[in-house]
Amino acid sequence: MNKINLRFAMPAIVYCLIFLASALPVSAQKMNAATLWTKGTGDYNNYRIPALIVTTRGSVLAFCEGREAGDTGDINLLLKRSTDHGKTWSDERIIWDDGNNTCGNPCPVIDETTGRIYLFMTWNLGSDHESDIILKKSEDTRHPYVCYSDDDGLTWSSPVDLSESCKDPAWGWYATGPGVGIQIKNGPHRGRLVIPANHSYDDPNGKIRGGPYGYGAHVLLSDDHGRSWRKSASIRPGCNESQVVELSDGTLMMNMRSYNDKYARASAISTDGGESWSEIKHELQLVESKCQAGILNFGKYKGKELILFSNPAVPVGRTHMTVKSSLDDAQTWTSAKLIFPGPAAYSSLTRLANGRVGLFFENGDKGAYDQMLFISFPPKLLFSDVDLSDLITDRQ
């Protein structure tokens, strides 16, 4: 029998292995999942309002509210960290606990220049209910706050009230995000920090909580690495919980929950770095039923900017968490992937340091707020024939 000349056979073997690996079904590429919080466990009755972001060191930070009841009352701001791309997670940390008062609506942003992590939140007296705050019958109102971390999220500064520069005193309800902020990467406003937010305002034609009040959105801006903050012009009518994304030419797009009976997300455009905004239009491809959503410029994918969008993509109720993809600056959404078919609500998207998509969202077998789940997967799965809802494995 002739002996095989390994010197010449090895390249062929390597090429064969590469070919076989590339020929493996996409479904063989594992989606990782971890349940970070579960209703009825731990120190709180419930957990809600996800926010997910990656630091300059590659750590993944997952924020949420630890609640005793609903959107007001005793709420604390919580954090879990991962230093291995979401495979394992730290114990829960309390970022802000103010007794029986409300400390919620997490909206972090990373300053890529300094590495500082800013966390925006909102506060109100725990005894004041949301309706009373909107109708201006409450003892106090809602206030925007910010704190920061310079050690990759391990420790945090004391929260500072930004009401004087970032809230119109005529507004009632106020909320940062919920979700994440961005830092502008291109154009004349490069380096500017942008925080999406929303508010209620006096509106003679408004019908919110019986009126005369309406919902509007706005952003908070900083051009000095967070030393000072100011608010933008408002986006109205009928918009609140918002997320902002930078398009390929530096234009900003605000994506908002809509109360205009269109069963779709609302959007507005800014060409001056978020100072002012266009009139709203409705994104009829982004179906919703009055819920929060996530949107993210994932970065380059096959030479084009990949914009991702996540929400419960149904016109009624909160089910069917879906991620949609756009390769033309959010003009069209050519791919829609069902992630979770059951009850699901709020969500937050990020790009992990290893290049995978990270999604943190509320879901459950019986209710949309039963647990808070983190998943990650390679972006090419969004353009595959694979049913992503079947790939959630390795849940911790």
Q: Where are the domains of the chain?
A: 181-287, 290-395
Output the CA torsion 125→128→132→137 (10° steps): -80
Please check the confidence at residue 12 and state whether its pLDDT lies above 60: no
Please check the confidence at residue 351 and state whether its pLDDT lies above 60: yes
* Beta carbons of 120 and 22 less than 8 angstroms apart: no
Say how far apart CA 250 and CA 87 lie, in whole Å.
33
Alpha-carbon torsion 187, 188, 192, 198, what sign?
A: negative
Alpha-carbon torsion 385, 387, 393, 396, what sign?
A: positive
Output the average pLDDT for the chain. Answer: 92
Q: Which of 214, 210, 218, 212 is nearest to 200 (CA)?
A: 214
Q: Which of 168, 172, 66 is nearest to 128 (CA)?
A: 172
Looking at residue 21, its pLDDT comes to 37
Locate 359 and state its tokens: 């999604």
pLDDT tens, residue by residue, 28-69: 468 899 999 999 999 999 999 999 999 999 999 999 999 998
Task: Compute the chain's Rg from CA coordinates.
Answer: 22
Those residues whose C-beta lies under 8 Å from the C-beta of residue 296, and which sit 6 or more positions away, are: 245, 307, 308, 309, 349, 350, 351
Locate 203 and state its tokens: 């509106």
- Tell me 93's DSSP state: E
Provide the residue count of the chain.
396
pLDDT tens, residue by residue, 243-300: 999 999 999 999 999 999 999 999 999 999 999 999 999 999 999 999 999 999 999 9
CB atoms within 10 A of CB 7: 7
> Mean pLDDT throughout 8-17?
38
Tell me: cis bond preceding 343? Omega within 30 of 0 counts. Answer: no
pLDDT tens, residue by residue, 203-245: 999 999 999 999 999 999 999 999 999 999 999 999 999 999 9
What's the predicted TM-score (pTM) here?
0.92
Q: 11: burial class by Cβ within 10 Å (0-12, 13-18, 19+)?
A: exposed
pLDDT tens, residue by residue, 90-110: 999 999 999 999 999 999 999
